[in-house]
């Protein structure tokens, strides 16, 4: 097992290296000059040339690339061209914000998606099944920005139940320790703030959870239907087991493998794919951070941001692969 | 199977209930009423100012489109940074409350020598920086020397305003006693005083910037009515009342929180939900919604911008003056203003708005006259080749909806026989390509920095600025000599005549189609008083109070 994990981690190196190289080339291939963007529309040609020199943008690309790699090896993710802040210290609050939102969304997606999928399979072709699958189809096809704005309008403005942007009540700001606000507020015993933070998570969480919920529901249903037709389910039923026990104990465990795969992939997607949700709900997360960096051609931030997200993505996949062995003891990695 | 049905129904109920409870189960601090929702009873915020009065602290939450880049005004160029620094720092001179006239600031009086080369400023006494350092002549000199000694890419605005052909316009700054500063210039500069009033030239505490070096922007220290408290990047910046502010009775607010809410509609939603008190960047199309809501007020920012359709003068067919004039006749500017600016803009005749000194009001916009356009095109021998029409990808105050305006222009051009294809790029790419002269016709605009004609006409249309802001690649030697002369002409009347003449030539050459001078919109809760938006976009908040 440890041997397997070690091998997998070694495999990561060429993958991530190839990715840094690709990202490096692609962002330099798009037109637009960071120096121009940083100095704004007013910039003179001289000022732009001087800034390019200062930022090392006039070096040949391979020298820039090796400088960047050298930095990464020593744990230095570089400095933002725009804010002139070291990225390693700048990145964490954004990453934490996205983690908090993504996990919240994923928990919603798993609870709702898995249960809806199970019930749909259990009562195949019932009204619930049809309704759930129609909703899932709508969920997959709904544009997130539209859903987000509608949520804000309905729950924020019309009903006044939930806040519609940001992570906290700015008039009573959270003192950040870990930057996971749910943890920070509990840590400081500020339960009032904890509730406020939770409320801020709700609307963006639901918006972000929509697509994975729908995908998980469909996957669970398909996978459950297959398992429900198998011999052992019939045997269990014949032995007089309650349907509930059969479904949730015997069938679910066997149906979970493909579901887990989807959960892993979707979690990875949420980390990078939260840009729209983060923009609509003014959520200061990593997606928006990278997106804005692209607008400003902030090369180091784009490179390091994508590197971190990619690293997390492959790590999540590794964890999912390891979880298979927990769920299904027939799977062994030697 | 009945049990199964029961289970199914109860599961559904459970799901619905849990969502419902989570949504409304918590306390109701965020009701959509217009009262401030800060919970004063549990306010354990350590940075709350110690109010001697028993009233709740006055906190204003200002929603805007993006975060600041840095809070060192000397090194930034973006409006979102100046919006904050304008309240932390003060300049030697101030603009008027809602115009760009020159008023006392940290300097209470000034004298200009006959030859326009020596400026003597008498400074306010008894002013302190937020860190307790005294403001005096020495502090001013240290600030100027910091900007002067820095590299061009560090103190961009200083170099762009106070350098010409590589030479420092401010030759020397000396002190005569503690509260008198003398600037000696290497050449007369007409807009010198206006330049000094610009946000980038806020005076910082020498103690602080000498200690912080290039990290000064993370912990800015000025003499302004508010001092810096906290910055959560991409989220919020908090500034609070400076108790030792030199102007008695100001600021009226205890705290201002600038929140970044990138999406215009989401920002308006937040205002309507009562979570912010003031929002800028309101779409013209939302103006009516705000006006129809009794809990809100719509606020107009005085206009100091121009939105235009640039015609690249070096590319066919726009290398022919007759074709450019034809396009000016072909476009129905009034219809565009009515449809997309909701009438909150005036049709443009010149490259700068009428509020700017030197504006030529003898010139009127090209009338909408398709027939005249057709005859000019025939005279020019235009071949009917399709052109590319570039539509702006982002909303800007001077162009709220580039894509829709482009469609109208496309139709106008088609009516006179110019076929066009609308193209667009992401913003940074758009600017880069337009700057390289790759566009045929492109939309763009400009918001003035200091309310001076030079900052519009020279910046946007002089041959010196081809490759930077003269995106139209317009060159006219006569205009160039008029503009250069005007830069060092200190007699206001003579100077205005020079600009008027330049506008005449430009009007005839038609390097652009000037479209509109828009009135940018903000919205606030009904109880926000004393907020006067400034045409430059940098608003002072010392006079704002809340009911």
- Weakest mean pLDDT among A5-19, B172-186, B408-422: A5-19
How far, in Å, CA of B24 to CA of A159, rounded?
10
Q: How confident is the model at residue B23 (pLDDT cuts 50, 70, 90)?
A: very low
Q: Is B29 an interface residue toward A (CB < 8 Å)?
A: yes
Give the pLDDT confidence of B300-317 residue by residue, as tens digits. Answer: 999 999 999 999 999 989
Interchain pair B236, A170: CB under 8 A: yes
- Chain A nearest-CA distance from B32, in A, is 5
Interchain pair B11, A115: CB under 8 A: yes
Interchain pair A280, B59: CB under 8 A: no
Give the pLDDT confidence of B50-74 residue by residue, as tens digits. Answer: 444 446 889 999 999 888 989 999 9
Q: What is the mean pLDDT of residues B423-435?
A: 86
Whether pLDDT at B14 is above 70: no
How far, in Å, CA of A198 to CA of A192, rounded?
10
Whether residue B506 contacts residue B479, with contact meaning beta carbons closer than 8 Å, is answered with yes
CA A334 to chain centre: 30
Whether residue A161 contacts residue B23, with contact meaning beta carbons closer than 8 Å, is answered with yes
How far, in Å, CA of B165 to CA of B151, rounded?
15
With residue B63 as reference, give the H or E element that holds it.
Answer: strand B59-64
How far, in Å, CA of B176 to CA of B185, rounded?
17
What was the pLDDT predicted at A41?
65
Cβ-Cβ contacts under 8 Å, B459 against chain A: 42
Q: What is the mean pLDDT of residues B386-394?
A: 93
Whether pLDDT at B532 is above 90: yes
Alpha helices in B416-467 (DSSP H): 427-435, 454-461
How big is chain A by its Cα radius of gyration, in Å? 24
Tokens of B9: 């129904």
What was the pLDDT predicted at B543?
95
What was the pLDDT predicted at B111?
95
Give the strand order in the sheet containing B170-175.
B107-112, B118-123, B180-185, B170-175
Which are the contacts of B395, defined by CB distance < 8 A and separation ≥ 6? B264, B281, B283, B401, B402
- Weakest mean pLDDT among A129-143, A259-273, B18-32, B523-537: B18-32
What is the β-pairing status of strands B305-311 and B512-518? antiparallel
With residue B62 as reference, give the H or E element that holds it.
Answer: strand B59-64
Compare CB distances from B7 to A38, A159, A244 and report the shortest one's residue: A244
Q: How confident is the model at residue B153 (pLDDT cuts 50, 70, 90)?
A: low
In B486-515, the residues whose Cβ lies within 8 Å of chain A are none
Whether residue B389 contacts residue B424, with contact meaning beta carbons closer than 8 Å, is answered with no
Compare CB distances from B152 to A41, A50, A166 and report the shortest one's residue: A50
How far, in Å, CA of A196 to CA of B320, rounded?
63
Q: What is the mean pLDDT of residues B36-58?
A: 45
What was the pLDDT predicted at B33?
32
CA closest to A83 among chain B residues: B69
Whether pLDDT at B7 is above 70: no
Cβ-Cβ contacts under 8 Å, A94 against chain B: 233-234
How far, in Å, CA of B407 to CA of B130, rounded?
52
Phi, psi of A217 (to 5 degrees): -60, -45
What was the pLDDT predicted at B35?
32
* Residues in chain A, overall count: 334
Interchain pair B27, A112: CB under 8 A: no
Whether residue A117 contacts residue A224, with contact meaning beta carbons closer than 8 Å, is answered with yes
Interchain pair B29, A169: CB under 8 A: yes
Give the pLDDT confidence of A25-83 residue by residue, as tens digits. Answer: 888 887 777 777 777 766 677 777 877 887 778 888 888 888 888 888 888 888 888 77
Q: Is A156 helix (H, G, I), strand (E, B) or coil?
A: helix
- In whole numbers, what is the pLDDT of chain B averaged over residues? 87
With residue B59 as reference, give the H or E element that holds it.
Answer: strand B59-64
How far, in Å, CA of B243 to CA of B318, rounded?
59
What was the pLDDT predicted at B30?
32
Which are the contacts of B324, defined by CB distance < 8 A and separation ≥ 6? B311, B313, B318, B509, B510, B511
Whether residue B88 contacts residue B303, with contact meaning beta carbons closer than 8 Å, is answered with no
User: To which residue do tokens 């996957």 refer?
Assistant: A219
Higher pLDDT, A331 or A272: A331
Give the pLDDT confidence of A9-30 residue by residue, as tens digits. Answer: 888 888 888 888 888 888 888 7
Compare CB distances from B69 to A30, A51, A82 and report the shortest one's residue: A82
What was the pLDDT predicted at A273?
61
CA closest to A113 among chain B residues: B15
Cβ-Cβ contacts under 8 Å, B214 against chain A: 84
Q: CA angle B5-B7-B9, nearest 5°?
A: 70
Q: How confident is the model at residue A162 (pLDDT cuts 50, 70, 90)?
A: confident
What was the pLDDT predicted at A123?
80
Higher pLDDT, A330 or B335: B335
Tell me which residue of A104, A287, A320, A127 sits closest to A212, measured CA to CA.
A104
What was the pLDDT predicted at B50?
41
DSSP annotation of B399 reads B
What was the pLDDT predicted at B60?
96
Tokens of B217: 């922007």
Tokens of B511: 């390097």
Packing angle of the helix pair B2-24, A87-122 (nearest 10 deg): 150
Compare CB distances from A295 to B261, B428, B432 and report the shortest one's residue: B428
CA closest to A47 among chain B residues: B153
- Give me the percent of chain B exceeding a pLDDT of 70: 89
Whether pLDDT at B31 is above 60: no
Q: How confident is the model at residue B296 (pLDDT cuts 50, 70, 90)?
A: very high
Tokens of B346: 């005036």
Q: Is B2 an interface residue toward A (CB < 8 Å)?
A: no
Q: How confident is the model at residue A334 (pLDDT cuts 50, 70, 90)?
A: low
Tell me which residue of A104, A102, A111, A327 sits closest to A217, measured CA to CA.
A111
Interchain pair B260, A282: CB under 8 A: yes
Interchain pair A40, B77: CB under 8 A: yes
How far, in Å, CA of A148 to CA of A142, rounded?
10
User: To which residue do tokens 């129809």 refer?
Assistant: B292
């Amino acid at each position: 097992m440890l041997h397997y994990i070690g091998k997998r981690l070694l495999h990561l190196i060429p993958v991530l290296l190839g990715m840094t190289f690709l990202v490096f080339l692609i962002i330099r291939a798009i037109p637009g000059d960071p120096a121009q963007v940083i100095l704004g529309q007013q910039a003179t040609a001289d000022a732009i040339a001087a800034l390019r020199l200062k930022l090392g943008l006039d070096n040949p690309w391979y020298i820039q690339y090796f400088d960047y790699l050298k930095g990464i090896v020593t744990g230095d993710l570089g400095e933002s061209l725009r804010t002139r802040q070291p990225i390693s210290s700048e990145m964490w609050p954004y990453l934490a914000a996205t983690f908090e939102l993504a996990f919240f969304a994923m928990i919603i997606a798993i609870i709702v998606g898995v249960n809806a999928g199970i019930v749909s399979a259990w009562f195949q072709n019932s009204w619930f099944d049809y309704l759930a699958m129609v909703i899932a189809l709508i969920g997959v096809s709904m544009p997130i920005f539209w859903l987000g704005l509608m949520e804000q309008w309905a729950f924020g403005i019309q009903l006044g139940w939930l806040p519609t942007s940001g992570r906290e009540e700015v008039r009573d700001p959270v003192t950040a320790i870990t930057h996971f606000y749910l943890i920070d507020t509990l840590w400081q015993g500020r339960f009032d703030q904890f509730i406020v933070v939770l409320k801020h998570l709700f609307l963006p969480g639901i918006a972000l959870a929509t697509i994975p919920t729908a995908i998980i529901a469909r996957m669970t249903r398909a996978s459950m239907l297959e398992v429900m037709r198998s011999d052992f389910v019939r045997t269990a039923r014949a032995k007089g087991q309650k349907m509930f026990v059969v479904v949730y104990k015997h069938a679910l465990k066997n149906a979970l493998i493909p579901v887990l795969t989807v959960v892993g992939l979707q979690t990875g997607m949420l980390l990078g794919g939260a840009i729209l949700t983060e923009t609509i709900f003014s959520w200061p997360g990593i997606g928006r951070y990278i997106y804005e960096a692209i607008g400003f051609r902030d090369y180091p931030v784009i490179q390091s941001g994508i590197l971190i997200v990619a690293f997390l993505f492959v790590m999540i996949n590794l964890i999912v692969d390891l979880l298979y062995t927990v769920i299904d003891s027939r799977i062994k990695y030697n | 199977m009945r049990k199964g049905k029961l289970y199914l129904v109860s599961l559904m109920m459970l799901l619905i209930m849990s969502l419902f409870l989570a949504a409304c189960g918590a306390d109701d601090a965020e009701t959509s009423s217009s009262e401030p929702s800060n919970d004063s009873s549990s306010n354990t915020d350590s940075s709350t100012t110690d109010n001697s009065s028993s009233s709740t602290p006055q906190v204003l939450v200002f929603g805007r489109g993006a975060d600041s880049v840095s809070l060192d005004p000397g090194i930034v160029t973006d409006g979102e940074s100046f919006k904050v620094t304008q309240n932390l720092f003060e300049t030697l001179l101030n603009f008027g409350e809602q115009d760009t006239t020159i008023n006392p600031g940290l300097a209470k009086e000034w004298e200009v020598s006959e030859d326009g080369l020596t400026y003597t400023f008498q400074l306010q006494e008894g002013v302190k920086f937020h860190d307790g350092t005294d403001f005096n002549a020495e502090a001013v000199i240290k600030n100027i020397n910091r900007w002067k000694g820095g590299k061009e890419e560090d103190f961009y605005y200083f170099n762009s305003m106070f350098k010409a052909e590589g030479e420092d316009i401010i030759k020397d700054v000396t002190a005569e006693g503690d509260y008198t500063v003398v600037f000696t210039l290497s050449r007369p500069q007409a807009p010198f005083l206006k330049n000094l009033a610009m946000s980038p030239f806020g005076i910082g505490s020498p103690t602080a910037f000498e200690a912080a070096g290039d990290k000064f922007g993370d912990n800015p220290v000025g003499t302004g009515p508010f001092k810096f408290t906290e910055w959560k990047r991409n989220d919020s910046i908090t500034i609070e009342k400076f108790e030792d502010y030199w102007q008695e009775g100001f600021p009226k607010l205890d705290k201002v929180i600038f929140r970044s809410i990138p999406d215009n509609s989401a920002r308006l939603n937040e205002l309507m939900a009562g979570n912010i008190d003031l929002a800028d960047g309101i779409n013209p199309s939302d103006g009516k919604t705000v006006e129809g809501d009794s809990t809100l007020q719509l606020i107009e920012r005085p206009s100091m911008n121009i939105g235009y359709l640039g015609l690249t003068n070096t590319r066919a067919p726009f290398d022919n003056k007759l074709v450019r004039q034809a396009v000016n006749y072909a476009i129905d500017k009034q219809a565009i203003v009515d449809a997309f600016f909701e009438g909150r803009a005036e049709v443009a005749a010149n490259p700068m708005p009428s509020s700017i000194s030197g504006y030529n009001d003898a010139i009127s916009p090209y009338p909408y006259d398709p027939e005249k356009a057709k005859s000019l095109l025939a005279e020019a021998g235009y071949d009917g080749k399709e052109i590319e029409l570039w539509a702006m990808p982002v909303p800007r105050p001077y162009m709220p909806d580039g894509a829709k305006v482009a469609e109208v222009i496309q139709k106008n051009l088609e009516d006179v026989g110019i076929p066009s294809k609308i193209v667009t790029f992401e913003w940074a790419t758009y600017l880069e390509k337009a700057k390289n002269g790759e566009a045929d016709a492109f939309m763009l605009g400009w918001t003035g920095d200091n309310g001076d004609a030079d900052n519009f006409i020279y910046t946007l249309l002089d041959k010196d600025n081809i490759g930077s802001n003269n995106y139209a690649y317009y060159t006219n030697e006569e205009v160039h000599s008029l503009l250069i002369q005007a830069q060092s002409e200190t007699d206001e009347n003579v100077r205005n005549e020079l600009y008027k003449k330049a506008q005449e030539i430009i009007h005839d050459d038609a390097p652009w189609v000037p479209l509109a001078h828009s009135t940018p919109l903000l919205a606030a809760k009904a109880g926000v008083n004393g907020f006067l938006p400034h045409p430059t976009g940098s608003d002072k908040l010392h006079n704002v109070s809340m009911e």
